[in-house]
A and B are shown apart, each in its own frame.
Chain A
C-alpha cells in the first residue's frame, strides 16, 4: 500500500511541478495525456498486487516450486519500478516514465512465458498495451528504438512460448489449473485495458470540447470588437461632420459677413463717405462672437484644461455651470497617458450630463477618481430617479459610446441603477501606457 500512496500526489501539486520543471506551460492536451499515463500506471500497479498474489497462492496451495516464488517477487519488484514512474511524470519526464512502464512489462512478460508457455496470449496482450501507450507520448526519435526493442521482446516471447518447455511447470500439476488460470487472467486483463483506453478518449474529448468552446468565445469576442470598432469610427466621423457643420454655420458665416461689410466700408471710405462708427461696433461684436464660437468649438474637440492640468481640474471646470451640484472627489490623481485621460474625461462628462438630464431638484452627483497601482477607477454616482438596468431599451447611445470608449482604452465599464435609488456609472482603466510601435515611429 505504501507504493500506491507515494504514487497518488495531491491533485494540485503535479501541474505546478510540471510547469516549473519543463519551463513551459503544459497545454490542456499535455495535461490530459499525463493524466492518462498516470491512470494507466496506477491501474497497472493495483493489478500487480493481485497478479503477485497468484504465484504466491499457487506456491502455498498447489505447487511448492521456488520458480513461482521468484516470479511473485519479480512482479513486486517491477511494481516498485513502475511506481517510480509517477514522480517522473510530475517532473515532466514523460519519456522516462514510459520507459519504466515498458521495462517492467517486458521483464514480467518474458518471465511469465518462460515459466508458463501456455500463458503466451496473455503476454501478447501485455506487450501491446505499453507500446500503444508509448506511441501517444514519445517523439519519433525515441519511439523508433523502443519499437525495435518491442519487436525483439515479442520475438523472444514468441520463441519462449512456442519452442521451449524446459521447466515443464505445466506438467507438474493438473493441466486444468493452468488452463483455467490463463482463461481468467486473460479475460480479466481486458478490464483495465478497456478502462485506460476509455479514460484517455474521454480526456481527449473533454480537451477537444474545451478548445472548441474557447474558439467559439474568441470568435464571439472578435465580432464584438469589430462592432465596437465600427461604432467608434462612426462616432468619430459623426463628430467631425458636426464640427464641420458648426464651423460652416457659425464662425465662417460671421467672418464672411464681417469681411463683406468691412470691404464695402473701406471702399466707401476711400471715396470719402463718412464711416458710421456705431455700425463699426456692430462689426466688432460680430468678430467677438465668431472668436467665442471658435473657442467653444475647440474646447469641445479637446478641452485645454485637460491637456494642461489633467483630469480633476478639467472635470472641475466642466461641472462649474452644471444645473445640479457636482462634487469631484479625486485622491492622488496625477497625469496619465492622453488616451486614458481623454477616455476618462469624456466618459465622466457623458455620465455627468446623463445624471443632470434626468436629475430632480435635490439631486447631487459625486464623481470619485481613485488610483490603485496601475488602475484608475472612476465612478459617477447620483441620487436621482434611477432606471431599470434590466430594460436594455433604456440603455441609449450615450452608454454605448461610454462602453466603447472605455473598452478601446482597455478598461471595463459597469452601470448600476435602480428606480428610486439613483445611478452609478463605474469604470476602470489600466493606466500603464500602451506602447504602440506605430506611434513612436513618427
Chain B
C-alpha cells in the first residue's frame, strides 16, 4: 500500500518544518507538499496535486483555515483533515468544532501535541475511519 500523501498548510515556517519531520518519520505517510498560506494551498491542492491528509492551521495569515479546508474537501471528497493551532480546542470557534463532528475524518490537535499518532487517527486509506489502538503506537511502526 502506497504511503498516504500529507499536505501541510501553516503560516509559520518553524512549524511546517517540524510537522514535515514528523510526517516523514511516520511509517505510511509522506510529505506531498507545503503551503504558507490559504491562497497557496488552494492553488496547489486538488489542482496540481492530489493528497490524502491535510494538516492545516486554523488561523492562516491570509484566511480562515476551516474555510480553506472545506473548499479543499469539496474538491477532493475523502480528504482527511487535521486542524492545528497553538490555541486549545476551548479557544476555537464552536462552528469549527461542529464542522469537525460532521465528518469523522476531521480532527483537531494543538501544535505542541502534534505527532505521528494524530496522523493515524485521521489518515487511513478509505472510509470508514479506523481508530488504531493506543498500543498501535507510531503509525504502525512497531509491527
Residues of chain A touching chain B, judged by Cβ–Cβ distance below 8 Å, are 248-249, 252-261, 263-264, 267-268, 286
Contact = CB atoms under 8 A, between A and B. Distances in A.
Nearest to A271: B141
A381 to B, nearest CB: 41
DSSP majority for the B interface? helix
A268 B112 CA distance: 18
B103 interface: no
Nearest to B25: A264
Contacts of B115: 260, 263-264
Nearest to A247: B86
A413 B3 CA distance: 68
Interface stretch (B16-24, B35-43, B46-54): B16-24
A267 B14 CA distance: 20
A267 B111 contact: no
Interface of B: 12, 14-15, 17-19, 21-22, 25, 59, 86-87, 110-112, 114-115, 138
B12 A249 contact: yes
A248 B84 CA distance: 13
Given A248-B86, A257-B12, 9 more contacts: A248-B59, A253-B111, A256-B114, A257-B15, A258-B18, A260-B15, A260-B112, A264-B115, A268-B25
Nearest to A289: B14
Contacts of B19: 260
A261 B16 CA distance: 11
Contacts of B18: 256-258, 260-261, 264
B112 A255 contact: yes
Contacts of B86: 248, 252-253, 256
A183 B114 CA distance: 113
Contacts of A257: 12, 14-15, 17-18, 111
18 contacts: A248-B86, A252-B86, A253-B12, A253-B86, A256-B18, A256-B86, A257-B12, A257-B14, A257-B17, A257-B111, A260-B22, A260-B111, A260-B115, A261-B18, A261-B21, A263-B115, A264-B22, A267-B138
B86 to A, nearest CB: 4
A259 B12 CA distance: 15
A261 B112 CA distance: 10
A311 B103 CA distance: 58
Interface secondary structure of A, over-half rule: helix
Contacts of A256: 15, 18, 86, 110-112, 114
A267 B138 CA distance: 9
Contacts of A268: 25
A258 B86 CA distance: 13
A12 to B, nearest CB: 69
A261 B23 CA distance: 11
A260 B114 contact: yes
B29 to A, nearest CB: 13
Contacts of A252: 86
A252 B111 CA distance: 9
Contacts of B22: 260-261, 264
Nearest to A253: B12
B25 A253 contact: no
A256 B18 CA distance: 9
Contacts of B14: 253-254, 257-258, 286
A77 to B, nearest CB: 94
The 6 closest A-B pairs by CB, nearest first: A256-B111, A257-B14, A257-B18, A260-B18, A253-B12, A252-B86
Contacts of B111: 253, 256-257, 260
Contacts of B112: 255-256, 259-260
B77 to A, nearest CB: 29
A260 B14 CA distance: 10
Nearest to A265: B21
A286 B14 CA distance: 9
A48 B138 CA distance: 118
Contacts of A253: 12, 14-15, 86, 111
